[in-house]
Amino acid sequence: MRNMLAMTKNNQQKTINNQKMRARFDALLRMLFVVLVAYPVVLLWLGIHVRHRERLPVRGPAIVAANHNSHLDMLTLLSLFPLLRIPGVQPVAAADYFFKTWWLRWFAVHVMGIIPVARGSLQTGGSAAADPLEACYRALEAGKVLVIFPEGTRGQPEQLAELKCGIWHLTRRFPDVPVVPVYLHGLGKAMPKGALLAVPFYVKGAVGQVLRWHEDKALFMNSLRQQMDWLQHKVCQPAEEE
């Protein structure tokens, strides 16, 4: 009996050690991806200026809510965080797109750090029986910074589509977690939906004030929309005083 207990304990410890090693390896992959891909594309090929970058949360739990016009959105947002904090930043994206093939799934999970969700679940909050946001809950519990695109999909270039209410369902579970709005301008022209290559179009952005969950869903979503509209206005009118 003692031998069996000892073997079970050893196996559990080996599993824990393997998980830690995989986590360290994934963290290294993610930082290398930012250094070798995100930085060259965003900082050298495109060029970027972001107002109030200091408002970005470098430690979680926190949620960054950004507009979505291009696949370059993720690269750009990752490039804004300190390099050593990259392993703690996880984008939330559609499982049906990033899990189409095994190699894309591996890249999305281990290199990009993507948390996959079923498209539409961020609109409804999922079901009690099988909540598709469960991985997001675990990430916030682990102190991660989630990057969410409340529009749900890539919209028309440089246009802000309707915001889905899934972010309200997520913050309802974690009412004390700050929500930080971010608006990026230029990526919809640099690499719009359907484009295969990015063109060097200068990117401008702005980071908004922290929002907190409110039990009134309409009020919360209106507050988020107003902040996004205001950030869009400030980004597109850079000469005006803040």
Which residue has tokens 């998980």? 19
Among 66, 47, 78, CA closest to 199: 47
In sequence order, which residues have a C-beta less than 8 Å from that of residue 88 and are 6 or more positions away? 59, 60, 143, 144, 145
Claim: this prediction has a pTM higher than 0.75: yes
Ordered by where they begin, the domains of the chain are 2-236 (3.40.1130.10)
Among 102, 104, 103, 135, CA closest to 118: 135
Longest CA pairwise span in the chain (Å) = 76
Number of C-alpha atoms within 13 angstroms, CB side, residue 72? 31
Answer for the pair 78, 64: CB distance below 8 angstroms, yes or no: no
Answer for the pair 171, 179: CB distance below 8 angstroms, yes or no: yes
Amino acid at 14: K
Ordered per-residue pLDDT tens for the chain, 242 residues: 666 655 666 666 666 666 678 888 899 999 999 999 999 999 999 999 999 999 999 898 999 999 988 889 999 999 999 999 999 999 998 887 788 888 888 999 899 999 988 765 554 454 445 677 889 999 999 999 999 999 887 767 777 888 888 899 999 999 999 999 999 998 988 887 777 777 888 999 999 999 999 999 999 999 999 999 999 998 887 554 44
